[in-house]
Amino acid sequence: MEIAPGAFHFKRHLSLDAQRTLVAECRALADGPVPAYVPIVRGGGRMHVRMLCLGRHWNGKTYAYEPARSDFDDLPAPPLPDDWKTLARDVARAAGMTGIAFEADLCILNYYDADGRMGTHQDKDESERSLAAGVPVVSISIGDTAQFLFGGLRRRDPVEKLPLESGDAFVFGGPSRLRFHGVSRIIPGTAPPELELTGRFNLTFRQY
């Protein structure tokens, strides 16, 4: 479903088996040697998610990417798995992004519990070249349904509310690359029971 030029919502894009595999991989990474953590951002506020960056680390205090987590524990960002790169590339192609070269080199993995949310923002910390080319962001949702907010290029533009369910993919690139977006709430108990997951994992793939 095309939400706006360059923005596509793929409902139930991933099979249950694929989702189950991702849940296991997300858990292993989030609780691994470089664990997910709750970032403190510029101004001292705490985010309402646990975050783990793969490939490159996003620093919540400087709003810049770096090799290691200098805002937290100085541990290096874990590598982005090759099968995750392939997943992101396949979703981008399904959205018809063949005219834009997309090779994810980083992924921000967020875990939302029942109180998780994300204020509306633009993803604009990638390189100038990537942003100018409209290289897409590819998002994968696993677990409880999120109420996703998708606005315009200005903060005051109207915002559309979309439920992102487990297995959904969302892509925004080209003219929609810098649209404001966020998550206003998580709907507990909506994850497929087969996943044995409380809360939501969200993977957003980008090309720096």
Query: pLDDT tens across 110-168, in order?
Result: 999 999 999 999 999 999 999 999 999 999 999 999 999 999 999 999 999 999 999 99
Contact 20, 143 (CB under 8 A): no
Paired strand residues for 118: 183
What secondary structure does DSSP assign to 30-74, as a single string?
HTSSS--B--B-TTSPBPBSEEEEESSEEETTTTEEESB-TTTT-
- pLDDT exceeds 90 at position 100: no
Q: Which CATH number fits domain 2-206: 3.40.50.2300, 2.60.120.590, 2.60.40.1730, 3.60.21.10?
A: 2.60.120.590
Look at residue 192 in the predicted model and tell me its pLDDT: 98
Q: What is the mean pLDDT of residues 9-30?
A: 98
Q: 35 and 73 in contact (C-beta within 8 Å)?
A: no
Average pLDDT over residues 174-183: 97
- Look over the chain and give the mean of its residue pLDDT values, rounded to a whole number: 97
pLDDT tops 80 at residue 99: no
So what's the pLDDT on residue 16?
Answer: 98
Give the pLDDT mean for 177-201: 98
Q: Residue 29 has what pLDDT?
A: 98
- Which stretches within the chain are classed as H helix? 16-30, 82-94, 128-133
Question: Once rounded to an integer, what is the mean pLDDT over residues 35-56?
Answer: 97
Residue 98 pLDDT grade (very low, low, confident, very high; cuts 50, 70, 90): low
Residue 68 has pLDDT above 70, yes or no: yes
Q: What is the pLDDT of residue 199?
A: 98
| Mean per-residue pLDDT, 6-26 | 98
Q: What mean pLDDT is predicted for residues 183-191?
A: 98
